[in-house]
A and B are shown apart, each in its own frame.
Chain A
Amino acid sequence: MWTFALARLAGILLAGLVLGFFVGPVWLWLLGAACVYLGWQLLNLYRLDRWLRLRSRMDPPAIGGVWGDVIAQVVRLHRRKRFHKQRLVQLFREIRRSTAALPDGVIILSPQHEIVWFNRQSARLLGLKRPVDIGLRIDNLIRSPEFIHYLHGEEFAMPLVIRPPVRMETFLALQLVPYGGGQSLLLVRDVTRQMRLEAMRKDFVANASHELRTPLTVIAGYLDTLADDPSIDPAWAGPIRDMRSQAQRMNAIIADLLELSRLEASDGEAAQEPIDVPRMLERLCRDALAQSGRPRQVLLELESDCGLQGAHHEIESAFTNLLVNGLKYTPSDGTVRMRWWLDAEGAHFAVIDSGIGIPAEHIPRLTERFYRVDAGRSRGAGGSGLGLAIVKHALQRHGGWLDVRSEEGRGSTFTCHFPPERVWKPALRSVASA
């Protein structure tokens, strides 16, 4: 192609040279030939330029030679670009359609928490408006203090459940998912149904336990009378004794169920009454020593005389449950140690026993309701199966957590950790007692 173009230029110049040689001054003819060539090229350039400008509305000009080649290249490039663009647009539409169809709300947030984009569902759930809300900070629109705290915090693993101010009867779970470049995704889900079911379950447990209590009291009362009645055939003494002990156990289970549902129902943080933990532990220890069939050694190690700020009743029931567990699963020649100490991370209470221990695979599930390590074990010992669930809930309400370590056959350690905010300092105690 290029050789042909060069040959054409050479031909035109040669023709000018030959004509100039015969007819007139050579330079004039040569100049004329060059001008004709230049003019022709300019014309082609003009046509190319016009076509590039109005590409969409006209066909490519029919020019041969080098120019035709260039035009063909441009057409090819353009076609390829259009193809890619169409594909991208299609992909983009697909994504937009699928996110719009998502049952959950999705909001894209910039690093400054400004709304970059949101789908229809999130607009419906949170009352966002398009397009005025694009570019606004999300915390200007969702102003719940809990949400603002969550947004500026670091802990995004768990979603936050709030009641949106627009429709108070619903519950929304919001979860922030940070991703590249400081941006983040805010997922919004309507969890009203789950929350209602949860509330119904709690209500049911509380009501059922309450309703069972009255008939059981009647049964237990009659059993007590029967046990003391001398006119009853002595052969019945055994069965009546069993019935009485089972009725007592049922009573204990119901009491635990009620306690648990009360802990669950009172959401938020526990109260801030000062609790004298050392004195409470001394009393628990005395009670344990008074029990028959206890392990040989029950020790109390008080390493700090600080107390706690919390709900007295809840803390006592948590500590009692742990101690009773320790006593139950420790053979009579074993040791149960209680330890209370304070360090930089807060206050801690541990029950360390030399009992039968718990296999490692059961430890994570211990705090579930009615969870049994093995079916025979605790039922024989007469537990309700709710003790550790109560401990967990009581600690949660005080900002604390339960740590369980155990080795099978060698004993277990249950440790309650309390944050420093909950510690009641001895300095305050002397003031309070004075």
Chain B
Amino acid sequence: METADLTHHISRRFNEDLEKVRNQVLQMGGFVEEQLHKAITSLVEGDSRLGESVATDDYKVNGMEVSIDEECSRILALRAPAAGDLRVIVAIIKTITDLERIGDEGEKIGYIASRLATMERPADKYREVKHLGRQVAQMVHDALDAFARMDSQAALKTAREDRMVDEEYEAIQRQCMTFMMEDPRTIRRALEIMWIVRSLERIGDHAKNICEYVIYMVHGKDIRHTSLEDVAKQIDSAHAKR
């Protein structure tokens, strides 16, 4: 298994460095996940303080991104990694960018949620948005799990879920339009909700990107802009060869 590459190294220090930076990425991921959960909770429960705390804590995500980035440059300069290790570093550099963007979207949701908390709440208590939020949070979680386990199969499965998120997004969009047409007084709220679902949809895309980096890291194949069916075939053949 290529996963074993990480643990068999001539230089033990190098191993430790790689493992440490991977752990930092996952820590950052954990923080981003929590931010996302908090943002969704603050919207659903109308907790403006929670939403504000999400918005003010985003600077921590940015700080983590910078420090991981530095660590990666240091490894690149000092160890000049090749093959699998190089792919790990490249994948990490890309992953943290997406994580940081997820953090930004979470910040946006938290900010809007704290504003919405002061407005009248709809009868369905944002059930659809909550559902979409759950789905997206699960996607981020699964993507990070796949990253931790170097599991390309799980990554592919998670990447496929993005389509469902897109469908859900369109459904909510249509629903919002219906609300606006029925009662113009809801336009303001519906517009804010549109921003939130848009952010959630973007987060789904970022999670999908992370999955693609996992596949790149494990198999060395760049699958961006290729259809997932082709990728599945390639991965299956790679598994069959082993």
Contact = CB atoms under 8 A, between A and B. Distances in A.
Contact of B37 (A127, A135, A137, A168): A168
Given A132-B149, A133-B149, A143 B37 contact: no
A148 B141 contact: no
Nearest to B148: A140
B115 interface: no
A45 interface: no
Nearest to A112: B19
A137 B23 contact: yes
Interface string A275-289: 000000000000000
Interface of A: 127, 129, 132-133, 135-137, 139-145, 148, 163, 165-166, 168
A143 B141 CA distance: 9
A168 B151 CA distance: 23
B29 A143 contact: yes
A136 B3 CA distance: 11
B2 to A, nearest CB: 13
A132 B27 contact: no
A63 B85 CA distance: 62
Contacts of A144: 30, 33-34
Contact of B27 (A143, A166, A168): A143
Nearest to B140: A165
A129 B22 CA distance: 19
Contacts of A142: 30
Contacts of B30: 139, 142-145, 148
Interface range, B side: 20 to 34
Given A140-B22, A141-B145, A148 B27 contact: yes
* Chain A interface main SS type: loop
A106 B231 CA distance: 38
Contacts of A141: 145, 148
A144 B141 CA distance: 11
Given A165-B137, A165-B141, A168-B37, A143 B26 contact: yes
A139 B23 contact: yes
Contacts, number: 45
B126 interface: no
A197 B122 CA distance: 29
B149 A143 contact: no
30 contacts: A127-B145, A132-B149, A132-B151, A133-B149, A135-B7, A137-B19, A139-B27, A140-B22, A140-B23, A140-B26, A140-B148, A141-B145, A141-B148, A142-B30, A143-B26, A143-B27, A143-B29, A143-B31, A143-B144, A144-B30, A144-B34, A145-B27, A145-B31, A145-B34, A148-B27, A148-B30, A163-B37, A165-B37, A165-B137, A168-B37
Nearest to B7: A135
B33 A165 contact: yes
B129 to A, nearest CB: 15
**Among all A-B residue pairs, the 8 with the closest Cβ atoms:** A143-B30, A140-B148, A140-B26, A165-B141, A145-B31, A132-B149, A143-B26, A141-B148
Most central of B22, B26, B33 by chain A CB within 10 Å: B26
Contacts of A165: 33, 37, 137, 141
Interface string B137-162: 10001001100110100000000000
Nearest to A137: B23
Given A143-B27, A148-B27, A165-B141, A129 B149 contact: yes
A143 B23 CA distance: 10
Contacts of B31: 143, 145
Nearest to A113: B23
A165 B134 CA distance: 10
A132 B154 CA distance: 12
A291 to B, nearest CB: 37
A145 B134 CA distance: 19
A133 B151 CA distance: 11
Contacts of A135: 7
Contacts of B37: 163, 165, 168
Contacts of A166: 141
Nearest to A166: B141
Contact of A143 (B7, B22, B33, B151): B33
A88 B37 CA distance: 48
Nearest to A271: B49
Contacts of A140: 22-23, 26, 148
Nearest to B147: A140
Contacts of A137: 19, 23
B62 to A, nearest CB: 15
Contacts of B137: 165
Contacts of B134: 168
Contacts of A136: 148-149
